């Protein structure tokens, strides 16, 4: 099978979508498929959200995909997120190739979070709902990263037969060695981008409550964003330090030094890839319920109600004072992402979808729909 994996962004940018696409590219290539990765050129990702530069980048992405499909006998186009899906739809319909849309989030949830004013947020929500209703159902098959996103896509017109929910899982080759339990007993770490949907203002308010009870506690924000973006988010919050990481190795090193890793995101349709990094690092995790994908409260992490600052702070304070529980949660989290069978199952299902859309399905190799 010859596959064009399409992503509207630089392939090397340290973001969750890029991590997932890279893992899929390596996994599929390891099974003998020819994978062509079609992305923005260069390393710069620019400011998040809608802007003219992204539109121009998307036009260039469409032209790049066209050239790849014209040059290679591509069997299937596999597009991640909306901009890549629109580029993929244009090329797929002009060339007769099937398109698999891989949804990472719902735009009706995500798009308004890039705007400050209530009016702009309402307008962005309307645009997001329109795109949620129009783009995915025009693909030949849809993959959703969560059951919540799958349910939303079904409500927007995607048929159950054309939809599968496949949550990301850790690629064993990228787990690294088993972590050493421990870390700085007062250090809390967030690793990820600074976009609005990450709910970092909530995290800072919750951490202020932590500092009121544990004055020595520190919050480390590890991100790829530049200093100006970090300054806008963090402001003059006390006990908070921002580190701009240049590589995943640096992110892993910063995580290793922390006692607790946090995920304040409340948006429910997406899958925070940072959780897999946290789990691979063997960290005790505190996560809001909306983003706690794959976590079991009290077993592989602490899961608290969305946007409950007091509960989030309470969970952090309790773990800072209980090294034994931190280590138990961290070991259980690490074990949960070490399954080779889970990663192979993800690749099996994606291969089944490829065969399905290219009308070469093999007996017993069929996509599995989302759960209700």
254-295 pLDDT per residue, tens: 999 999 999 999 988 889 989 999 999 999 999 999 999 989
Distance CA 187, CA 184 (A): 5
Q: What angle do CA 89, 90, 94 make, to 5 degrees?
A: 110
Distance CA 97, CA 73 (A): 10
Query: Does the pLDDT of residue 178 top 90, yes or no?
Result: no
Query: Does the pLDDT of residue 43 top 70, yes or no?
Result: no
Question: Considering only 10-19, 46-55, 143-152, 243-252, which range has the smallest mean pLDDT?
Answer: 46-55
User: What residues have CB less than 8 Å from 56, skipping those under 6 apart?
Assistant: none
CATH class entry, domain 176-336: alpha beta
Band of residue 361 on the pLDDT scale cut at 50, 70, 90: very low
- How many CB atoms are located within 10 Å of the residue 53 CB? 11
Residue pair 181/200 in contact by the 8 Å Cβ criterion: no
Residue pair 228/208 in contact by the 8 Å Cβ criterion: no
Phi/psi at 261 (5° precision): -115, 145
Q: CATH topology of 2-104+135-172+340-357 equal to that of 176-336?
A: yes
Residue pair 349/367 in contact by the 8 Å Cβ criterion: yes
The tens digit of pLDDT for each residue in 69-87 reads 999 899 999 999 889 999 9
DSSP 321-363: T-HHHHHHHHHHHHHHT--HHHHHHHHHHHHHHHHHHTT-PPT
Mean pLDDT of the chain: 88
The tens digit of pLDDT for each residue in 53-63 reads 677 888 999 99
DSSP 169-220: ---GGGS-SPPPS--EEEEEEEES---GGG-HHHHHHHHHHHHHH-TT-EEE
Band of residue 372 on the pLDDT scale cut at 50, 70, 90: very low
Residue pair 351/76 in contact by the 8 Å Cβ criterion: no
- Quick one: average pLDDT of 336-356? 92
pTM value is 0.86
Burial class (CB in 10 A: 0-12, 13-18, 19+), 147: middle
- How many CB atoms are located within 10 Å of the residue 117 CB? 8
The tens digit of pLDDT for each residue in 313-337 reads 999 999 999 999 999 999 999 999 8
Considering the domain 2-104+135-172+340-357 in this protein, what is its CATH number? 3.40.50.2000
Domain assignments of the chain as residue spans, ordered by start: 2-104+135-172+340-357, 176-336
Residue pair 366/356 in contact by the 8 Å Cβ criterion: yes
User: What residues have CB less than 8 Å from 349, skipping those under 6 apart?
Assistant: 164, 166, 367, 368
The tens digit of pLDDT for each residue in 111-157 reads 887 887 889 989 999 999 999 999 999 999 999 999 999 999 999 99
Residue pair 263/272 in contact by the 8 Å Cβ criterion: yes
Reduced to 3 states, what is the DSSP secondary structure of residue 224?
Answer: coil
Q: Estimate to the nearest angstrom the gap between the alpha carbon of 54 and the chain centroid.
A: 19
Residue pair 17/7 in contact by the 8 Å Cβ criterion: yes
The tens digit of pLDDT for each residue in 17-26 reads 888 898 999 9
Question: Edge-to-edge strand order for the sheet containing 184-191?
Answer: 240-244, 218-223, 184-191, 258-263, 284-288, 302-304
Distance CA 338, CA 270 (A): 22
């Amino acid at each position: 099978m010859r596959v064009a994996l399409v992503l509207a962004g630089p392939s090397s940018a340290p973001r969750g979508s890029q991590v997932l696409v890279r893992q899929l590219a390596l996994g599929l290539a390891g099974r003998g498929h020819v994978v062509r990765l079609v992305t923005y050129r260069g390393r710069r990702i620019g400011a998040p959200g809608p802007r003219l530069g992204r539109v121009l980048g998307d036009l260039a992405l469409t032209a790049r995909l066209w050239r790849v499909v014209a040059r290679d006998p591509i069997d299937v186009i596999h597009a991640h997120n909306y901009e890549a899906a629109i580029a993929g739809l244009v090329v797929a319909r002009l060339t007769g190739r099937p398109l698999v849309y891989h949804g990472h989030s719902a735009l009706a949830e995500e798009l308004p979070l890039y705007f400050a004013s209530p009016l702009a947020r309402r307008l962005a929500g309307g645009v997001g709902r329109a795109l949620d209703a129009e783009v995915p159902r025009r693909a030949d098959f849809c993959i959703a990263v969560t059951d919540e996103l799958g349910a939303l896509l079904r409500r927007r017109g995607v048929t159950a037969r054309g939809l599968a929910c496949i949550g990301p899982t850790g690629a064993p080759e990228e787990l690294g060695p088993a972590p050493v339990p421990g870390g700085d007993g007062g250090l809390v770490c967030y690793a990820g981008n600074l976009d609005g949907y990450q709910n970092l203002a909530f995290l800072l308010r919750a951490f202020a409550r932590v500092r009121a009870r544990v004055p020595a506690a520190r919050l480390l924000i590890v991100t790829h964003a530049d200093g100006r973006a970090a300054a806008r988010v963090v402001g003059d919050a006390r006990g908070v330090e921002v580190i701009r990481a240049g590589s995943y190795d640096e992110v892993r090193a910063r995580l290793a030094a922390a006692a607790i890793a946090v995920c304040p995101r409340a948006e429910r349709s997406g899958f925070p890839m940072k959780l897999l990094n946290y789990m691979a690092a063997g960290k005790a995790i505190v996560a809001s319920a909306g983003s706690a994908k794959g976590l079991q409260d009290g077993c592989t992490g602490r899961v608290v109600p969305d946007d409950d600052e007091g509960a989030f702070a309470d969970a952090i304070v309790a773990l800072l004072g209980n090294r034994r529980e931190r280590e138990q949660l961290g070991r259980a989290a690490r074990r949960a992402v070490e399954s080779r069978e889970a990663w192979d199952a993800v690749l099996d299902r994606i291969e089944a979808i490829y065969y399905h859309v290219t009308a070469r399905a093999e007996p017993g190799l069929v996509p599995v729909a989302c759960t209700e």
